[in-house]
Chain A
Amino acid sequence: MKILVCISKSPDTTSKIAFTEGNTKFDENGVQYIVNPYDEWYALVRALELKETLGGNVTIITVGNAADEAIIRKALAIGADDAVRIDADPKDAYFTASQIAKYAKDNSFDIVLTGKETINYNGSQVAGMIAEELDMPFISLATKLDLNGTTATIEREVMGGVQVVEVNTPFVASCAKGMAEQRIPNMRGIMAARTKPLTVIPVTNNEEYTAYASYSMPEAKTACKMISPDNMDELVSLLHNEAKVI
């Protein structure tokens, strides 16, 4: 069983968010990056669990620059066997997906897993685009994944319930909460990560279809207004005229 897990970096959740260059670029100054939690906790850990029961190999892949090797080492410390870094600053979802798809096509994997989205850009696009490029089935927002031979049974949350999907390998799935439990790298894993192979490969496709025009911060939280329970008229009036939600 050959599994490819796509990982992305995300700012640590305690990072201060700011923008530079006329609000067109995320300000990375002082930002600590972590492995995007959906990629790490769910996609990677489930891939490792499958490998532990069925045998095989788990490769992680990211599109990023040399500074991103810290998150790669962490994923290797958690248990991935080897890593690939496509040497580029990722531009947009298609740019990222097309790089990964090219590598995946050349190295034929049984399963390609991603997190359901990154916690910074929340795009949820890369996995679907990889599937399209590879001409493989795509299952989004998977919360459970079991494999029997070459058939996978995947659960995904739908409005008011759970949908069960069956799909044959090879396929692409994006993983959501419930898929697995977070694993903390242990010292043995951290030591082993020092010598696990990390291959750096050049960009294969420089197409960009989108550009970020600007970023802005959400409005600052304002103080809470307390309204007496017997003053419904004022509540309705404020919701209608001030908050403009009804």
Chain B
Amino acid sequence: MATDLYVHPDYYNLDDLLTEEHIMIRDAARAWVKKEVSPIIDEHYEKATFPKHLLKGLGEIGAFGPYIPEEYGGPGLDQISYGLIMQELERCDSGLRSTASVQSSLVMYPIWKYGSEEQKQKYLPKLATGEFMGCFGLTEPDHGSNPGGMITNFKDAGDGENVILNGAKMWISNAPFADIAVVWAKDETGRIHGIVVERGMEGFSTPEMHGKLSLRASSTGELIFVNVKVPKKNILPGRTGLGAPLSCLDSARFGIAWGALGAAMDCYDQALRYCKERTQFGVPIGSFQLQQKKLAEMITEITKAQLLTFRLGQLRNAGKATSAQISMAKRNNCEIALNIAREARQIHGAMGITSEYSMMRHMANLESVVTYEGTHDIHLLITGMDVTGIPAFTREMSESK
């Protein structure tokens, strides 16, 4: 990629709503991304390799569990700080943000919220620095939008100390290199529990998935459990049932809402610059009405999304954000980001398809982001259910004759 000249658009002076510390955290994340990630991201994307050497730096800028309290090795920041860091990471690449939000929201969050004191002390400080990396096992090959139908399960080993875990999880970010996995599995009564599975446990493997044409700089794999003996003390005691993993997804989707907006802002920033620099028919292409229409619509959508996202951050800080409010932001921001990436690519003409610019990579990445952690359609149904009070997720099929 050419030199990273990114400047964030702030049409409604939203920086005035941030604290001095928010701005310092955001600017530090941006400076780190520009120095360490922007120069190498395309190569990793093209080769489909994960830039593992960045993990320590991600830990240092606070990208792993920013809201985890200091007593567990985190910086104890608010939700807006978490959002801003995710925004800066995804501004560069959705895969980078995925790694950080999985670690934060799907691994550290459940351990912090539902783990025992011993589990918190054992895992959280090392996860905060990136010394330990984690992944989250909920989705299964046959259970994506319907996670409650999972078949991964554990039974009492009968030795008083362990359970025996069987099953498989799919589409798991960070799986191939994770040290631990927070796995959601049913007990003998069908109740869902979180359980921490450590690399090295016999019968546990994490094969990498290949052939992705999106999130190529992020590592995705499967989690396979064949009679894995896991100590009972690795079960998260604080909460059971599907609500436990769904609460983690609330946190992750909140981060995605900020992140996708970051990708949109990056595309807009480049398109605006290109419109002023590129000349055709002797004038900058930004002087043509059709290009101005694209830019004007982009900045309008970005500004609306910034306001939505900031307010959601305030609600989340106050502990008042509902799952449905988070769904709306995740869905909206992914959609506008995808549209903006496509329009920004058009403004760049043929140059827009090269790795000289980031919008084509953002566009391909966002096709995953719009699908994972609740598909675009599922989030629409969540809003639909929230406003009507009638769930429309499933229906009875009449028996075929």
Q: B12-33 interface mask toward A, CB cutoff 8 Å, 1 = contact, 0 = none?
A: 0101000011011100100110
Cα A194 to Cα B15 in complex, Å, equals 20
Assess whether A187 is in contact with B62, with CB atoms less than 8 Å apart.
yes
A32: B residues at CB distance < 8 A: 15
Q: Considering only CB atoms, which chain B residue lies closest to A186 in the complex?
A: B60
Assess whether A184 is in contact with B25, with CB atoms less than 8 Å apart.
no
B61: A residues at CB distance < 8 A: 184, 186-187
A190 contacts the other chain (CB 8 A): yes
Show 24 A/B contacts (Cβ-Cβ < 8 Å), sorted by A: A30-B13, A70-B20, A70-B23, A73-B24, A77-B24, A77-B28, A182-B35, A184-B28, A184-B31, A184-B32, A184-B61, A186-B28, A186-B60, A186-B61, A186-B62, A187-B25, A187-B28, A187-B60, A187-B61, A187-B62, A188-B60, A190-B24, A190-B62, A194-B21
Q: A187-B28, A187-B60, A190-B62 are in contact. List 9 more A-B contacts (CB 8 A).
A: A69-B20, A182-B35, A184-B32, A186-B60, A186-B61, A187-B61, A187-B66, A190-B21, A191-B75
Assess whether A14 is in contact with B24, with CB atoms less than 8 Å apart.
no
Assess whether B35 is in contact with A185, with CB atoms less than 8 Å apart.
no
A73: B residues at CB distance < 8 A: 20-21, 24
Q: Considering only CB atoms, which chain A residue lies closest to B74 in the complex?
A: A187
Main secondary structure of the interface of B (DSSP, over half): helix
A74 contacts the other chain (CB 8 A): yes
**Known interface pairs A30-B13, A191-B70; A185-B20 also in contact (CB < 8 Å):** no
What is the interface residue range for chain B against chain A? 10 to 19
CB distance from B35 to the nearest CB of A (A): 7
Q: B47-87 interface mask toward A, CB cutoff 8 Å, 1 = contact, 0 = none?
A: 00000000000001110001000100001100000000000
B397: A residues at CB distance < 8 A: none
B318 contacts the other chain (CB 8 A): no
Cα A187 to Cα B31 in complex, Å, equals 13
Q: Considering only CB atoms, which chain B residue lies closest to A194 in the complex?
A: B21
Contact residues of A between 139 and 197, Cβ < 8 Å to B: 182, 184-188, 190-191, 194
B66: A residues at CB distance < 8 A: 187
B2 contacts the other chain (CB 8 A): no
Cα A194 to Cα B75 in complex, Å, equals 12
B390 contacts the other chain (CB 8 A): no
Cα A73 to Cα B23 in complex, Å, equals 11
B13: A residues at CB distance < 8 A: 30
CB distance from B268 to the nearest CB of A (A): 15
